[in-house]
Amino acid sequence: MKPSTTAAQDRLYDALSPPVRALAVRGILRSYRKNTVIVTEGEMGDSAFVLLEGKVKVYSNDTDCREIIYDIVEPGDYFAEMCLDGGPRSASVMTLEPCTCSVVGHDELRQHLSDPACALEFVAHIIRRARAATLKARELALKDVYGRVVSTLEGHYGPARDGVPITLSPITHQAIASRVGASREMVSRLLKDLERGGYVTLGVRQITLMRKLPARW
């Protein structure tokens, strides 16, 4: 039996797909400030999170503060679902802006998966994450830094075509560096070179693709 929800909570759930909404209503609503670490890599955890508002990054870092970002999670998706196996967290999660999540405990998650349709959606979600992780590993192993920067810039919208510029969502050079596993200085140097070549224009936290980026640089 699903827990009852208030009208205000229902408005947050309206945009969710039916299986994700069924998961979200089992949890407890919590709000987090920007730059709050919700999940810490290596720690034990027994909750999954459905993101209702805001954005979070899934990442790892080392003792020298070098960071790699695995994914940016947006509203309507969920994360930390690997708590199901009872093992330690495989990555950290930090809010990029104020966020609202439904925090779903281990037992509630298991109950959710007793519904075949919800279990199928959960498996499909795990498969998508596995494909993304495989792609990330492939790019780190087989592409140079420039190739990974191109994949990051063109990955969401595709290359600019027919002289129609594409303005990317606000992003910093450091955020790109964290996604591609390189230093901010190297990424900034590559972007400046591309700007001089007329391939991009750079603003404050803003990058516009002017034409298709070259395969090699």
> Which CATH number fits the domain 7-142, given the four candidates 2.60.120.10, 3.20.20.100, 1.20.1440.230, 3.20.20.150?
2.60.120.10
Residue 197: which pLDDT band, with cuts at 50, 70 and 90? very high
> Considering the chain, what is the average pLDDT of its residues?
90
Distinct helix (H) and strand (E) counts, the chain: 7, 11
pLDDT digits (tens, 9 = 90+) for 63-95: 777 888 999 999 999 999 999 988 999 999 999
Say if residue 51's pLDDT is above 80.
yes
Q: If you search the block for the tokens 């093992």, which residue do you land on?
A: 87
d(CA 7, CA 28) in angstroms, rounded, equals 15
Residue 3 has pLDDT above 60, yes or no: no
Residue 10's pLDDT band (cuts 50, 70, 90): confident
What residue spans define the domains of the chain? 7-142, 145-209
Is residue 103 within 8 A of residue 27, CB to CB? The reply is: yes
Rounded (5°) CA angle 45-51-54: 120
Model pLDDT for residues 28-49, shown as the tens digit of each residue: 999 999 999 999 999 999 999 9
Cβ-contact 103, 47 below 8 angstroms: yes
Instruction: Report whether pLDDT(1) > 60.
Output: no
145-209 is classed in which CATH architecture? Orthogonal Bundle (1.10)
